[in-house]
A and B are shown apart, each in its own frame.
Chain A
Amino acid sequence: EVQLVESGGGLVQPGGSLRLSCAASGFTFSNYEMNWVRQAPGKGLEWVSYIDSRGSTIFYADSVKGRFTISRDNSKNSLYLQMNSLRAEDTAVYYCARPNPNSGGWRAFDYWGQGTLVTVSS
């Protein structure tokens, strides 16, 4: 059974840092690209970042570029999101999401974690 379990969320002050983790199981993690998607309280979904299977190709949303860093450790079946210079508007539930291999370009997300809440507030 595919499982994605996020951790590392919590309360942090504006300007602070936090590192999120996503532990993957039930599939060959090293074969899959991965993404982070967030959802502010009561708001819609927002794509945050993408990393390819080897960690060599990475993309970010403009809203987090230069502040967030996505990475992965295939030996540990884990995905990470290092978040620096956090702002109040970064407050959200952060999900890791796996692409659907049946999608022609792997451009849909078929498995999501339960999410981890990040709250940026003084």
Chain B
Amino acid sequence: QSALTQPASVSGSPGQSITISCTGTSSDVGAYNYVSWYQQHPGKAPQLMIYDVSKRPSGISDRFSGSKSGNTASLIISGLQAEDEADYYCSSYTRSSTWVFGGGTKLTVL
């Protein structure tokens, strides 16, 4: 199972919006609406930010949103803040009853 494709890095200034893409195949991202996004700060465990493509867990800011079109999902962070600087990973359930993660994107807040 190949990893989902994410940009290695993205950056933005405080207050701006950024988008992180996540490209898979018709066997994973395109197969189900089971794409999730995780934020990970250095030395910490991942934190769920978005599930089922566009839903936010309780306590997650509405500055975080998700979408999907075909085999590509996207995480949008609006009103960028310094504390948003972290690594972000997408994940998808697959037709093989397994999960696949993206390679990760390092977000830098300038």
Residues of A with Cβ closer than 8 Å to B? Answer: 35, 37, 44-47, 50, 59, 61-62, 95, 100, 102-105, 107-110, 112-115
Determine if B86 is an interface residue (Cβ-Cβ < 8 Å). Answer: no
Q: Report yes or no: A45 in contact with B46, Cβ–Cβ below 8 A.
A: yes
- The number of A-B residue pairs with CB atoms under 8 Å apart is 77
Q: Known interface pairs A45-B89, A102-B55. Does A108 touch B48 (Cβ–Cβ under 8 Å)? A: yes
Q: Report yes or no: B91 in contact with A45, Cβ–Cβ below 8 A.
A: yes
Q: Which residues of B contact A102 (CB under 8 A)?
A: 51, 55, 57
Q: Which residues of A contact B99 (CB under 8 A)?
A: 35, 47, 50, 107
Shortest CB–CB separation between residue A72 and chain B, in angstroms? Answer: 18
Q: Known interface pairs A44-B89, A45-B46, A45-B91. Does A59 touch B34 (Cβ–Cβ under 8 Å)? A: no
11 additional A-B residue pairs with CB within 8 Å, beyond A44-B103, A59-B97, A105-B34: A37-B101, A45-B38, A45-B91, A47-B101, A50-B97, A103-B34, A108-B52, A110-B51, A112-B45, A112-B46, A114-B45
Q: Report yes or no: B48 in contact with A62, Cβ–Cβ below 8 A.
A: no
B68-110: CB near A (< 8 Å → 1, else 0) gives 0000000000000000000001010100111111111000000
Residues of B with Cβ closer than 8 Å to A? Answer: 1, 3, 32-34, 36, 38, 40, 45-48, 51-52, 55, 57, 89, 91, 93, 96-104
Chain A to chain B contacts (Cβ below 8 Å), 19 pairs: A35-B99, A37-B101, A44-B3, A44-B89, A45-B89, A47-B99, A47-B100, A47-B101, A59-B97, A100-B51, A104-B33, A107-B51, A107-B93, A107-B99, A108-B36, A108-B51, A109-B38, A110-B48, A115-B45
Q: Which residues of B contact A95 (CB under 8 A)?
A: 45-46
Tell me the nearest residue of chain B to A44, going by C-beta.
Answer: B104
Report Cα–Cα, A102/B55, bound state, in Å.
Answer: 9
